[in-house]
Amino acid sequence: MSRSKPKTKSPEVPGKGPRAAGGGTECVRRLDPDGVLLGKGPSRVPDDVLLSIYRTMSLVRSLDDRMLKLQRQGRIAFYGQAIGQEAGSVASAAALEDVDWLFPALREGGAALYRGFPVEQYVAQCFGSENDELKGRGMPCHFGYHEGNFVPLSSCIGTQVPHAVGVAHAAHIRKDPVIAVAYMGDGATSEGDFHVGMNFAGVYRLPVIFFCQNNQWAISVPVSQQTASESIAIKAVAYGFPGVQVDGNDAIAVYEVTREAADRARSGGGPTLIEAMTFRMGGHSSSDDPTRYRDEKVVREWAKKDPILRMRLYLEGRGLWSEKQEENLQADLLEKISTAVRKVEADPPPRTETLVEDVYAEVPWHLREQLEELKDPGDQEA
């Protein structure tokens, strides 16, 4: 008996019927596409934090543009852009404390940058050079930032979820006021690790936030083929804790929702699942051609919801930002990134010894011999 392939549905656009969380809850939104504040009361984001969020989102956008160009030139091997998703990673990180632990998926480099990840190290990780904090061991664009409690990401989908739950469990046992955040894409919610982590966190009421950036596509698989649920947020109900859907292109809404979830977790209220509705404007990675599987009309619609433009319009309306400040920011970003690229590209690769030095307290004789051969190929021929 043959089975027909389900029809692909076009992802929905915020403002045009977003997939709602359970119980009829609407998608939380504080800024409209023109940067006008919605809802009752002022923004709960301090002005200095608003400006930091905006500057970091702009930095992410500039880095994405430059790194993809370097990949196309063959100067780095791989890159995954976060264009259109900057608000999710940056604004959520801004809502947390420095002691909290972040377990990223592919597009959360902005969270590390917000926490102070140096641009030079960001670029070095893409090149895998001597200055790379991971010593060239990770894929390009798979960042780790020890000082910022930003755990190196893995390309294995969803594996960071139980890791974050484990850290939250340890904090709970030690009565340490630390929370963990497990970032993921919509595709990760189809993995067993997601459900195991959610169940464990719900049973033990752990201080963890599950932050899903629902960008509508798991490479070429649309969210309509990921789940039959009316939303991803509603999945939290089965595990005994709240699920919240938020406009992921609205930095103010993301900050406020994440802050509420963090306060709840830190006070013993348990976990929260946040579904940030957004869109991946580019390909899944530098190896992907999204024009082969998605409607460009939908892409154009989402371009009107640009999180950076939306925030800039809001800041300008508040008198917190100007055209001159924008010009200065863009010039500063260009210089900062260009300087980092020149420096990193001139750096040598990581030392050969780093292959084993962090694995063994005392390097075994057979590996030491192999290291010597690698350092002097002539000895091997003799």
Contact call for residues 352 and 137 (beta carbons, < 8 A): no
| 377: phi then psi, degrees, rounded to nearest 5 | -55, -25
Closest to 274 (Cα-Cα) out of 299, 291, 255, 289: 255
Check 280, 294, 310, 312 and give the catalytic one.
280
HEC readout, the chain: CCCCCCCCCCCCCCCCCCCCCHHHCCCECCECCCCCECCCCCCCCCHHHHHHHHHHHHHHHHHHHHHHHHHHCCCCCCCCCCCCCHHHHHHHHHCCCCCCEEECCCCCHHHHHHCCCCHHHHHHHHHCCCCCCCCCCCCCCCCCEHHHCECCCCCCCCCHHHHHHHHHHHHHHHCCCCCEEEEEEHHHHHCHHHHHHHHHHHHHCCCEEEEEEECCEECCEEHHHCCCCCCCHHHHHHHCCCEEEEECCCHHHHHHHHHHHHHHHHCCCCCEEEEEECCCCCCCCCCCCHHHCCCHHHHHHHHCCCHHHHHHHHHHHCCCCCHHHHHHHHHHHHHHHHHHHHHHHHCCCCCCCHHHHCCCCCCCHHHHHHHHHHHCHHHHHC
Check 55, 284, 294, 312 and give the catalytic one.
284
- 293 classed as catalytic: yes
Check 75, 146, 293, 360 and give the catalytic one.
293
Calpha distance 62→70 (Å, rounded): 13
- 280 classed as catalytic: yes
Calpha distance 99→66 (Å, rounded): 31
Task: Kindly list the catalytic residues.
Answer: 280, 284, 293
